[in-house]
């Protein structure tokens, strides 16, 4: 049985979940999901509605069904027959409920112990060399616009790693939305590690010039593939994600909306998503450890050629399940993806499914969608390998769910007076895998405001890679409870450390930068969240002086950003500060 087979990993799983779940989860209502899509919509306006509201025919039309009734069966509008009672079943656990291999890192990922080793599993040298090559091609194209050749010099592998490391550190410090001049200015919100690692001018240049495909052949490739600017690195990253980790017994398929408001042929409008506008990406994730195994960018209707695929929910699911095909995993989906034909097809591929259903499916018996029912009541229909349930979660509203994992209509005893079926409870526990991934990567995202959709996709790849590498890091280090913020800080430092050592011994750099680089190489990085800068034109009461004096001032401490009068602060010039740093070092 699934639960018995996974018991040997229960302790490690619970530990990793507690570390990953840094933000407390709230129970999501079973009568709806948080995503919206549309199937083959040429105007790119998504209407993916996961609510299982009654949208069917009137009661008079339902009564006119000419299908022969039987006390033993329930019939759908298309004649699909469901048993009213649980059919006789074998007491032995079904083979499809026994996973074929245990979850966890596999292959080279088993030996990855450090943060940079885990990250290199996903953003490896193959991807980085591709970025270096394509970026240099673009730099050569724009070099003539610069007066000095050194302002547009080629990049290399080490510099691209440093660039990615600084992007990760902007996510850790939550400064991705700040202007670059504020990040590099130590007199404002700047942090010494940025100016010590790379000049603002060079970072800005790389941010403008970084490319992920050959600009010289892009127009030809775009005639058959609208995803040509990111196709190569995206497929390489997805392949690395699938090869380095085996998903757990519970998986989730849902959509992500990568916020983007620039020009893009396949940009979507989804009003119920926080970003509302952006690039839709379908994802397959682990429902309990939030590892992302497969991704697919929704590109609308592709031109005729090898990249033109169907965007119907059934076909999207069948493409995404390739990493878990015939592994006896369970898949959780919402009512936009789910259907009875999909459940039957997945059984042929050795996968069970749990998910909500829309009430307009013709296989559903009419009495399952009746609005006037007792609150918290349930009705069940059974077929040989699947169970259908209609649960009255609210007055005049039913939730329809289908499961090929459950064979009986058991009620969850822990649900109390709500009397939730176990199918509904299982759906609630496992449906939030993709949503949790969105929540976690959003907390320390590297994404900066940009006008190129390919760059926005690259930022999303880095976010997913950082989270996946953290999951593998926790699996390979069972005795370490490292918070994700510390892991990302360590990862960023490991990527920029080689550049810092080189700049610390570079005599042409200013003295304060060399001192700062040397100190960071020796002491490492200790980063806290960037403080919020108050308005310098407003007066506030000194935080140290007693309230009775009511001392109003504009000055504030450059470290803690607290309003403070000069009686409680020490002032020091730049030259004296440098001398003090040299003595400390």
Q: Is residue 579 part of a domain?
A: yes
pLDDT band at residue 12 using 50, 70 and 90 as cut-offs: low
Query: Which of 408, 439, 470 is the C-terminal boundary of a domain?
Result: 439
Residue partners of 514: CB distance under 8 A and separation at least 6: 503, 504, 505, 506
The pLDDT score that the predictor gives to residue 9 is: 55
The pLDDT score that the predictor gives to residue 577 is: 56
pLDDT band at residue 102 using 50, 70 and 90 as cut-offs: confident
Query: Do residue 368 and residue 489 come from a single domain?
Result: no
pLDDT band at residue 65 using 50, 70 and 90 as cut-offs: very low
pLDDT band at residue 190 using 50, 70 and 90 as cut-offs: low
Domain that holds residue 499: 110-221+440-503
Query: Do residue 450 and residue 435 come from a single domain?
Result: no
Q: Is residue 493 part of a domain?
A: yes
Q: Is residue 515 part of a domain?
A: no
Q: Check residues 461 and 29 and name the one with the higher pLDDT.
A: 461
Neighbours of 265 (CB within 10 A): 12
Q: Check residues 423 and 98 and name the one with the higher pLDDT.
A: 423
Q: Which of 133-147, 191-205, 541-555 has the lowest mean pLDDT?
A: 541-555
319 pLDDT exceeds 90?
Answer: yes
The proportion of the chain whose per-residue pLDDT surpasses 70, expressed as a percent, equals 81
pLDDT band at residue 3 using 50, 70 and 90 as cut-offs: very low
Query: Do residue 385 and residue 261 come from a single domain?
Result: yes
User: Looking at the 3D structure of the chain, how many domains does it have?
Assistant: 3
Q: Which of 169-178, 492-501, 517-526, 562-571 has the lowest mean pLDDT?
A: 562-571
Query: Do residue 83 and residue 125 come from a single domain?
Result: no
The pLDDT score that the predictor gives to residue 62 is: 42
Query: Do residue 192 and residue 141 come from a single domain?
Result: yes
Query: Do residue 435 and residue 452 come from a single domain?
Result: no
Contact 357, 401 (CB under 8 A): yes
Q: Is residue 463 part of a domain?
A: yes
Spell out a b/e string for 282-321, using b for 16 or more CB atoms within 10 Å of the CB, else e: bbbbbbbbbbbbbbbbbbbebeeeeeeeebebeebbbebb
Q: Which of 36-45, 110-119, 557-566 has the lowest mean pLDDT?
A: 36-45
Mean pLDDT for the chain?
84
- The CA distances from residue 246 to 8, 122, 131, 189, 251, in Å, are 16, 14, 28, 42, 11
What tens digit of pLDDT does each residue of 339-363 get? 999 999 999 999 999 999 999 999 9
Indicate the SS3 state at residue 269. strand
Contact 126, 236 (CB under 8 A): yes
61 pLDDT exceeds 50?
Answer: no
The pLDDT score that the predictor gives to residue 544 is: 78
Q: Check residues 160 and 4 and name the one with the higher pLDDT.
A: 160
The pLDDT score that the predictor gives to residue 223 is: 94
> Measured between alpha carbons, how far is 277 from 268 in angstroms, rounded to an integer?
6
Residue partners of 251: CB distance under 8 A and separation at least 6: 284, 285, 286, 287, 293, 324, 329, 330, 331, 332, 433
pLDDT band at residue 534 using 50, 70 and 90 as cut-offs: very low
Q: Which of 189-198, 270-279, 415-424, 426-435 has the lowest mean pLDDT?
A: 189-198
Query: Do residue 348 and residue 233 come from a single domain?
Result: yes
Query: Do residue 278 and residue 370 come from a single domain?
Result: yes
The pLDDT score that the predictor gives to residue 539 is: 74
The pLDDT score that the predictor gives to residue 22 is: 55
Q: Is residue 356 part of a domain?
A: yes
H or E segment to which residue 378 belongs: strand 378-382
Query: Do residue 433 and residue 464 come from a single domain?
Result: no
pLDDT band at residue 527 using 50, 70 and 90 as cut-offs: low
365 pLDDT exceeds 70?
Answer: yes
Q: Is residue 511 part of a domain?
A: no
3-state secondary structure 14-42: HHHHHHHCCCCCCCCCCCCCCCCCCCCCC
6 pLDDT exceeds 70?
Answer: no
Burial environment of residue 248 by CB neighbours within 10 A (0 to 12, 13 to 18, 19 or more) = buried
23 pLDDT exceeds 50?
Answer: no
Query: Which of 457, 479, 503 is the C-terminal boundary of a domain?
Result: 503
Query: Do residue 245 and residue 369 come from a single domain?
Result: yes
Q: Is residue 32 part of a domain?
A: yes
The C-alpha angle 209, 214, 219, rounded to 5 degrees, equals: 110
Write the DSSP symbol of residue 512. Answer: H
pLDDT band at residue 7 using 50, 70 and 90 as cut-offs: low
Q: Which of 59-68, 72-81, 86-95 has the lowest mean pLDDT?
A: 59-68
107 pLDDT exceeds 70?
Answer: yes
Q: Check residues 548 and 250 and name the one with the higher pLDDT.
A: 250
Query: Do residue 445 and residue 432 come from a single domain?
Result: no
The pLDDT score that the predictor gives to residue 35 is: 40
1 pLDDT exceeds 50?
Answer: no
The pLDDT score that the predictor gives to residue 11 is: 65
**Closest among 564, 570, 561, 540 to 552, alpha carbons compared:** 540
- Per DSSP bridges, beta strands 330-333 and 250-259 are parallel
pLDDT band at residue 581 using 50, 70 and 90 as cut-offs: low
Q: Is residue 520 part of a domain?
A: no
Q: Which of 11-20, 85-94, 104-113, 464-473 has the lowest mean pLDDT?
A: 11-20
> Measured between alpha carbons, how far is 19 from 289 in angstroms, rounded to an integer?
10
Query: Do residue 244 and residue 358 come from a single domain?
Result: yes
The pLDDT score that the predictor gives to residue 46 is: 66
User: Mean per-residue pLDDT for 524-553?
Assistant: 64
- The CA distances from residue 371 to 259, 334, 374, 390, in Å, are 38, 21, 9, 11
Query: Which of 397, 424, 439 is the C-terminal boundary of a domain?
Result: 439
The pLDDT score that the predictor gives to residue 44 is: 64
Q: Check residues 384 and 169 and name the one with the higher pLDDT.
A: 169
């Amino acid at each position: 049985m699934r639960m018995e087979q996974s018991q040997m990993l229960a302790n490690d799983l619970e530990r990793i979940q507690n570390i990953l779940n840094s933000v407390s989860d709230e129970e999501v209502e079973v009568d709806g999901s948080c995503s919206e899509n549309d199937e083959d919509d040429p105007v790119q306006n998504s209407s993916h509605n996961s609510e299982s509201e009654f949208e069917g025919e009137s009661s008079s039309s339902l009564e006119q069904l000419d299908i022969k009734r039987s006390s033993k069966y329930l019939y759908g509008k298309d004649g699909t027959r469901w048993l009213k009672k649980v059919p006789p079943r074998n007491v032995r656990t079904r083979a499809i409920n026994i996973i074929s291999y245990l979850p966890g890192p596999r292959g080279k990922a088993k030996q990855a112990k450090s943060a940079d080793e885990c990250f290199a599993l996903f953003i490896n040298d193959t991807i980085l060399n591709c970025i270096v090559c394509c970026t240099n091609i673009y730099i050569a194209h724009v070099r003539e616009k610069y007066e000095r050749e050194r302002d547009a010099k080629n990049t290399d592998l080490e510099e691209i790693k440093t660039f990615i490391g600084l992007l990760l550190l902007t996510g850790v410090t939550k400064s991705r939305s700040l202007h670059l001049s504020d990040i590099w200015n130590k007199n404002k919100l700047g942090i010494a590690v940025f100016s010590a690692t790379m000049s603002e001018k060079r970072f800005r240049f790389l941010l403008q010039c970084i490319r992920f495909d050959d600009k010289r052949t892009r127009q030809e490739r775009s005639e058959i593939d609208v995803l040509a600017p990111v196709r190569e690195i995206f497929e390489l990253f997805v392949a690395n994600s699938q090869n380095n980790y085996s998903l757990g017994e519970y998986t989730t398929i849902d959509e992500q909306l990568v916020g983007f408001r620039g020009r893009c042929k396949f940009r979507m409008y989804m009003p119920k998503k926080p970003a509302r506008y952006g690039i839709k990406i379908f994802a397959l994730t682990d429902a309990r450890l939030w590892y992302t195994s497969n991704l697919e960018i929704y590109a609308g209707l592709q031109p005729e050629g090898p990249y033109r695929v169907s965007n119907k929910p059934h076909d999207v699911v069948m493409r995404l399940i390739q990493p878990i095909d015939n592994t006896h995993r369970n898949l959780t989906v919402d009512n936009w993806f789910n259907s009875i034909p999909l459940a039957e097809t997945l059984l042929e591929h050795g996968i069970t499914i749990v998910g909500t259903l829309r009430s307009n499916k013709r296989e559903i018996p009419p009495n399952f969608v009746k609005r006037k029912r007792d609150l918290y009541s349930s009705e069940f229909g059974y077929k040989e390998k699947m169970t259908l349930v209609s649960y009255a979660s609210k007055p005049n509203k039913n939730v329809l769910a289908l499961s090929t994992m459950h064979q009986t209509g058991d009620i969850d005893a822990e649900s109390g007076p709500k009397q939730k079926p176990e199918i509904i409870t299982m759906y609630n526990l496992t449906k939030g895998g993709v949503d949790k991934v969105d929540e976690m990567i959003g907390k320390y995202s590297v994404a900066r405001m940009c006008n190129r959709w390919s760059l926005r996709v690259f930022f999303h790849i880095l976010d997913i890679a950082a989270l996946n590498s953290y999951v593998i890091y926790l699996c390979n280090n069972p005795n370490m409870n490292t918070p994700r913020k510390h892991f990302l800080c360590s990862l960023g430092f490991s990527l920029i450390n080689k550049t810092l050592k080189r700049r610390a011994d570079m005599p042409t750099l200013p003295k304060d930068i060399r001192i700062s680089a040397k100190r960071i190489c020796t002491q490492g990085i200790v980063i806290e969240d960037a403080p919020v800068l108050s308005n310098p034109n407003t007066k506030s009461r000194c935080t140290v002086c007693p309230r009775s004096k009511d001392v109003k001032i504009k000055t504030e401490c450059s470290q803690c950003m607290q309003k403070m009068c000069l009686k409680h602060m020490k002032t020091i010039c730049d030259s004296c500060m440098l001398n003090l740093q040299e003595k400390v070092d």
